[in-house]
Structure 1
Amino acid sequence: MSPRLTEPAAPAQGRTVALVTLGCSRNEVDSEELAGRLTAGGWTLVDDAAEADVAVVNTCGFVEQAKKDSIDALLEAGDLKETGRTQAVVAVGCLAERYGQQLADQLPEADAVLGFDSYQDMSGQLQAILDGDRPASHTPRDRRQLLPIAPAARQEGADAVALPGHQQIQPADFVATNSQGTDEVASASGPPVIRARLDGRPWAPLKIASGCDRRCAFCAIPMFRGSFVSRRPHEILDEARWLAQRGVREVFLVSENTTSYGKDLGDLRLLEQMLPELAAIEGIDRVRVSYLQPAEIQPELLDVMAQTPGVTPYFDISFQHASGRLLRTMRRFGDRESFLALLRMVRERVPHAGIRSNVIVGFPGETEEDLAELTAFLQEAELDVVGVFGYSDEDGTEAESYADKLAPEVIAERVALVCELVEQLTAQRAADRVGEQVSVLVEEIDVADGDHAGWGAGEQVVTGRAEQQGPDVDGSTILVGWTGGRAPRVGDVVLAEVVDTEGVDLIARVLPEEAPAP
């Protein structure tokens, strides 16, 4: 299919825009879709907000600290209007969608606060702002009410609801060639993709669904992301091929709840069917699955993940706690014993699996016994990575109205206790991998300045991720000891043996190419 080339709106030509992204990998997908729409509209993307006419801050609204980080980023961008080229600052993303006018009232540094419904015409919105208009701030609403309650009835109306990252291409969308000469919106060999890469990493997040139907008492995400909606498999496969054509070696499947994928398409086995197809795409060496709900994991999915070459032995399972009593208060399912049984199921299939999770400490009503149940679980679970969050009230959630709130200082003490335990346990888990063979995706090559332990000034420091390590937050692998031939390059996948560790980070010696795969 040949791209449709249409001249962009004249006033936007030559204008520059920077996208500042906070929060999770799902937000990164949304930013790259926005970047694709803006380049198609004639905007030039720049990395430095100080060099942009407009700074677009894609905010996070998940927990209190994330909100503060987003506001700080908006304030910093606002300062650039006094010192740099920047003429306007625009807030988008989850915080903007969740608070809208309230955020605008409290943050005059932002020239506009735009919700998800503005994404498809972001080019026009930004041009209007530069022309002196101040668009009305987004009016928040419960996005769960935009689609039918019954999952099977959602797909028919999903095109009429803004779903960032879902590649909702309308007839009015056009295709243009960006200033780098790369067609970022359509491929001559396939259907259009509205996305522009914002970095040169050899991995990329790929959104397979949006929203969530669960009603966890602590979580506001369903209110501002809406009900669960799956993308159709052919759309996901098309975008994965597009990413592969641009040098992506690992696709990271993201959603709010991956184990629900396909339920609104009438088939909860669709992910199992799609994983082998994704792994077979030319150029894609790894497919990584994220955010599995323990109560929804089926043995058949574990079988496919374990048996499909190219699907990483990585299981991102959202436990949140281990006390059955407290989990029921959270409106979740499970307990310490059922979670340990699930982990045994995983390791029976993949003995060296990488397993990560998140836990909430200090939830209303959490007793010393509940905390002890959590720490006992963590000691038995042998998890590779654990994110520890202290509970905070989230506007509009059920838990906000709960009694038995713990004092902030008690929550802080418990977070510190669990973090210290997790640091010890995950460091030991990494140390247990010494002697294992791992497949490492090379992501960064740095030149030692003399401060790198073990490297002299000028020596190459090659860093990547083993299959058991997820992007950004799960640790990294430093490669050493390659001999003969060329040194590893970014995007290479090399076989190595773990020889040492630093906390959760692995140090691995590159093995000869003829060595058998693990």
Structure 2
Amino acid sequence: MELSSAPDGRRVALLTLGCARNEVDSEELAARLHADGWQVTTDGEGADVVVVNTCGFVEKAKQDSIQTLLAAADTGAKVVAAGCMAERYGRELADSLPEAQAVLSFDDYPDISARLNAVVAGEALDAHTPRDRRELLPLTPVKRRDAAVSLPGHGTPTRALAETDEHTPAHLRQVLRHRLDTGPVASLKLASGCDRRCAFCAIPAFRGAFVSRTPDELLAEAEWLAKTGVRELVLVSENSTSYGKDLGDPRALEKLLPQLAAIDGIVRVRASYLQPAETRPGLVEVIATTPGVAPYFDLSFQHSSEPVLRRMRRFGSTDRFLELLASARALAPEAGARSNFIVGFPGETRQDVAELVRFLTEARLDAIGVFDYSDEDGTEAAGLPGKVSAATVKRRYDKLSALADELCSQRAEERLGSTVEVLVDSVADGMVEGRAAHQAPEVDGSTTLVAPAGGGVDLAALRPGDLVRATVTATEGVDLVAVPDEMISAAPGAAR
């Protein structure tokens, strides 16, 4: 899909792997390149340069990134590695992957066009030596915004792009983003980095310390997204519950959510990446009760056994987590909840697994992700004693994955007969697919809309971006089947 044109014909393909945060970063890169005259596409065919925005989170993600880079090289285009894996390994990746003409750091992003011009010209670019990016920012959170550090996805313009200065209100500045997807959903990046020290996680070392974007910046970008046809905003970061702590307002997210929901054209705002230990009662109330905000809790539990959580350098327990879920459902009985869990963490016992099973059985989560533990370079967990054997990890992973599938299917069945608000994502070949408020894009289930027996909403007239009220009539695993009852909000500008 081609998205922009240029008179000189330079063509760059941006391929994005990994999480929604990477997608925002790619759209910022696209804006920088488009402003400098590049054709920007998400299809590598015929491109002069293919930029792979890599993921470096876990081993499988790294292997996927390598395979994508190698496949890009087979097209005959110049290949550039960017993103988390490139930042994390730098020169080491460049030395081990000669198929890539360049390996870029986040620090290269403001000058991405110049870097790609050099690659096209056949110039050799030295790869960076990785550093712990937490050390590039002040320890004091409120001092970080003034630091001269590249923060991908924060929309900081280069001098060539800046048409206004730092004293210009955010709503009057140029939004540095070029959409690579024309769908009705877009991610909005609240912040970059993380100040937590989870033993299993390497992300803070290459993403850096936590830095929030200002509410004005976010509202300006959200309004711009709405004007491009976006109907649902998904708020992303490494830790959304920390939003605002470096702005002098630890309750900033509670204030921001209603403001985003009030933007003309936006029908749903979804918060994601919530840390249970930081999910305060006021935030629970805002998410559960604010019109236009999805009553949806993407909570990073990771485990529920207290001893395992302590070794992970996290907080909580089965009972505390169940109390948190109960507090949300007391305000919004149909609230959605999802989480990810790690099995086989060093020191995990059969009793720990039994405690996790107890939690999962009682939690009634809509979506559950299960990951088998593996050592990650540079993490504290890699050096912990009590490693669980690979065979035991696999056995526990298989057991928990099967349980998760069963429990999530049961939770979907509990929604039979209920009324849901479905945002239509796609209409193709007579199939209308969308998501209810408890279903986040890509990571959770979906809802298929089917024709009503008589009357109601005309299925053939529905378009992406429509928001309809529907009754759940069947389930297929975690997915729902529903009959549309009435149109709540039609997508603006859609031909009928």
TM-score tier after normalising by the smaller chain length: over 0.9
Amino acid at match of 2:142: A
Could you list the runs of 5+ residues in structure 1 that have no partner in the other structure? 1-7, 176-188, 448-459
After superposition, give the CA deviation of every residue in 1:362-383 in whole Å (9 maximum; x if it has no partner).
0011000000100110000000
Stretch deviating more after TM superposition (498-507 or 46-55): 46-55
**1:301 aligned to 283, 286, 289, which one?**
283
Check conservation: 2:239, 2:274, Cα contact below 8 A. Answer: yes
Say if 2:235 is the partner of 1:239. no
Stretch deviating more after TM superposition (505-514 or 323-332): 505-514
Could you list the runs of 5+ residues in structure 2 that have no partner in the other structure? 164-170, 490-496
Shift of 1:174: 5.6
**2:462 aligned to 467, 488, 500, which one?**
488
Stretch deviating more after TM superposition (195-204 or 88-97): 195-204
* Aligned counterpart, 1:150: 140
Aligned positions, number: 475
Cα distance in 2 for residues equivalent to 1:512 and 1:397? 51
Cα distance in 2 for residues equivalent to 1:213 and 1:164? 17
Cα distance in 2 for residues equivalent to 1:170 and 1:105? 30
Say if 2:81 is the partner of 1:91. yes
Check conservation: 1:112, 1:134, Cα contact below 8 A. Answer: yes
**What SS is found at the alignment partner of 2:486?**
coil
**1:46 aligned to 27, 41, 55, which one?**
41
Using structure 1 for the length normalisation, give the TM-score. 0.90
* Aligned counterpart, 2:431: 461
Cα distance in 2 for residues equivalent to 1:171 and 1:35? 17
**2:154 aligned to 166, 172, 176, which one?**
166
Using structure 2 for the length normalisation, give the TM-score. 0.93
Check conservation: 1:144, 1:222, Cα contact below 8 A. Answer: yes
* Aligned counterpart, 1:311: 293
Shift of 1:512: 3.2
Shift of 1:309: 0.6
After superposition, give the CA deviation of every residue in 1:306-330 in whole Å (9 maximum; x if it has no partner).
2211000111000000000110000
Amino acid at match of 1:97: E
After superposition, give the CA deviation of every residue in 1:215-269 in whole Å (9 maximum; x if it has no partner).
0000000000000000000000000000000000001000000000000111111
* Aligned counterpart, 1:61: 56
* Aligned counterpart, 1:509: 483
* Aligned counterpart, 2:446: 476
Identity of aligned residues (%): 58
Cα distance in 1 for residues equivalent to 2:315 and 2:265? 39
Check conservation: 2:344, 2:372, Cα contact below 8 A. Answer: yes
Say if 2:260 is the partner of 1:269. no
Check conservation: 1:251, 1:288, Cα contact below 8 A. Answer: yes
Aligned 1:320-331 pairs, distance under 5 A: 320-331=302-313
**What SS is found at the alignment partner of 1:51?**
coil
**1:409 aligned to 383, 388, 391, which one?**
391
* Aligned counterpart, 2:187: 205
Say if 2:97 is the partner of 1:107. yes
Shift of 1:514: 8.4
Check conservation: 2:466, 2:487, Cα contact below 8 A. Answer: no
Say if 2:201 is the partner of 1:219. yes
After superposition, give the CA deviation of every residue in 1:485-508 in whole Å (9 maximum; x if it has no partner).
552111111110100000000000
After superposition, give the CA deviation of every residue in 1:350-407 in whole Å (9 maximum; x if it has no partner).
1000000000000011000000100110000000001111101111100010111112
Cα distance in 2 for residues equivalent to 1:305 and 1:60? 29
Cα distance in 1 for residues equivalent to 2:270 and 2:230? 13
4+ runs of 1 displaced by more than 3 Å?
A: 482-486, 512-515
Amino acid at match of 1:105: D
* Aligned counterpart, 1:399: 381
Shift of 1:45: 1.3
**Structure 1 residues 90 and 300, CA gap change in structure 2 (3 angstroms):** same
Cα distance in 2 for residues equivalent to 1:138 and 1:433? 51
Check conservation: 2:69, 2:100, Cα contact below 8 A. Answer: yes
* Aligned counterpart, 1:257: 239
Cα distance in 1 for residues equivalent to 2:488 and 2:438? 22
Cα distance in 2 for residues equivalent to 1:418 and 1:513? 39
Shift of 1:190: 4.0
Cα distance in 1 for residues equivalent to 2:316 and 2:373? 19
Cα distance in 2 for residues equivalent to 1:391 and 1:508? 37
Task: Please report the RMSD computed on the Cα atoms of aligned residues, expressed in angstroms.
Answer: 1.7
Shift of 1:331: 0.3
Stretch deviating more after TM superposition (44-53 or 247-256): 44-53
**Structure 1 residues 404 and 437, CA gap change in structure 2 (3 angstroms):** same
Check conservation: 1:96, 1:138, Cα contact below 8 A. Answer: no
